[in-house]
Amino acid sequence: MKDIELRLVSELIKNSRRSDRELAKALGVSQPTVTRTRTRLEKEGLIDYSAVPNLPKLGFEIMALTFGKRDFQKYPEVNLQKAQDVAKRYPSIFFGAAGSGLDYDRIVISIHRNYSEYSKFLQEMRNEWADIIDIQNSFIISLTSKEVIQPLSLKHFADHLKIEKES
């Protein structure tokens, strides 16, 4: 990724509502350069826009990292379409993927208004995937706890992008 692209992505993560003119001034380039670069990055799917709301203020008390393990013996091929369809039906899921660690190979990150909603979600996931994935454990985070050290945000990551490029 070119320097201007990386710096533009970093600035957009911090505040995607800024105009191309404001971004050009911050980056020290022309406004047409920003417009062309932003348009290309959008078309290539390198950037997408969404707000990161304050979840507790919207009434969400729980974030859960739910871990599962696929039965590779019975299901050597993954049904990616089914997984994507399930994720679409559950708007509380905001990330799901295969991976590895802690003796698991699946993770879903979800948000919930309360424990009751989370418990219902977990039971539905277990029922949906009962014969394919063993959903065993979750790490539950209280979003309203005083021990939330860093609220969900990508602003610090934006600075990390710039630091990585500079080093």
Query: Which CATH number covers residue 123?
Result: 3.30.70.920
Q: Are residues 45 and 60 in the same domain?
A: no
- 158 located within any domain: no
pLDDT of residue 166: 59
Q: Are residues 80 and 103 in the same domain?
A: yes
Q: Are residues 43 and 107 in the same domain?
A: no
Q: Are residues 33 and 79 in the same domain?
A: no
Q: Are residues 134 and 66 in the same domain?
A: yes
CA distance 138 to 121: 12
pLDDT of residue 80: 85
Number of domains in the chain: 2
Residue by residue, pLDDT tens for the chain (167 residues) are 788 999 999 999 999 999 999 999 999 999 999 999 999 999 999 999 888 899 999 999 999 999 999 888 887 887 788 889 888 999 999 999 999 999 999 999 999 999 999 999 999 999 988 878 889 889 999 999 999 998 888 888 888 876 655 55
pLDDT of residue 58: 95
Q: Are residues 81 and 127 in the same domain?
A: yes
Residue closest to 128 by CA, chosen among 89, 77, 73, 76: 89
- 15 located within any domain: yes
Supply the pTM of this predicted model: 0.82
Q: Are residues 106 and 137 in the same domain?
A: yes
Q: Are residues 85 and 9 in the same domain?
A: no
Domain housing 26: 3-51
- 167 located within any domain: no
Q: Are residues 67 and 118 in the same domain?
A: yes
Distance of CA 90 to the CA centre of its chain: 15
- 73 located within any domain: yes
pLDDT of residue 157: 83
pLDDT of residue 162: 67
Q: Which residues of 43-76 are buried (b: 16+ CB within 10 A; e: fewer)?
A: eeeebeeeeeeebeeeebbbbbebbbebeeeeee
